[in-house]
Structure 1
């Protein structure tokens, strides 16, 4: 996002985003074009964390900020922040995985084979669980406190 854009211009762009009637479909098409080698499951999860539930989480966080200004005795709701961070963190994870797509996953599988050959069963299981978690997009965000 160009920092030179005015607040009004950024607000106009956000309004355009929120007015889209087929946002999920448009997001799916855009992700397919941008990451043609990524598995369908990864793309679907990336769309969810960004354009489906992620936008709602961002709006909820902004609403909570405004409510705090209107009612300072009411403390900000940390769950709104965590919900947004959850989607941002998962988008970050997918952003790291999507460019490599199938090739990157195949490289990880090769590493697993090497670990098996070396008898590193615990490391194999940990790597497999990590891959599963990454593909499912359900990884918990780090503790930011």
Structure 2
């Protein structure tokens, strides 16, 4: 299977969507969808079925965990990585229970985020 190239970035802060897009470009993503809240993210996922979703936990209209749950109900093969400023143990555990592939704090150094996402992609898409 070829490497994924299409990502959906769901975050209510435009500068963070831009930052995450720059990170994804460094690991080969070329096609981006953006959503400012969980509801828009769920709708875009259902319409476009991107390869990867980066989902903020705390957002207006619909929280990230609720959006994660709806996406996983729609597509149990979805690859969703939760991103957050506050990584409480409860939120991490709930994300995993709901089907998130990974959980990344936004204050993680950029190089470490790139490394984590690249490793995740290699594991999921089984690139040799």
Q: Name the TM-score, length of structure 1 as normaliser.
A: 0.25
Larger radius of gyration: 1
Report which of the two has the higher share of strand.
2
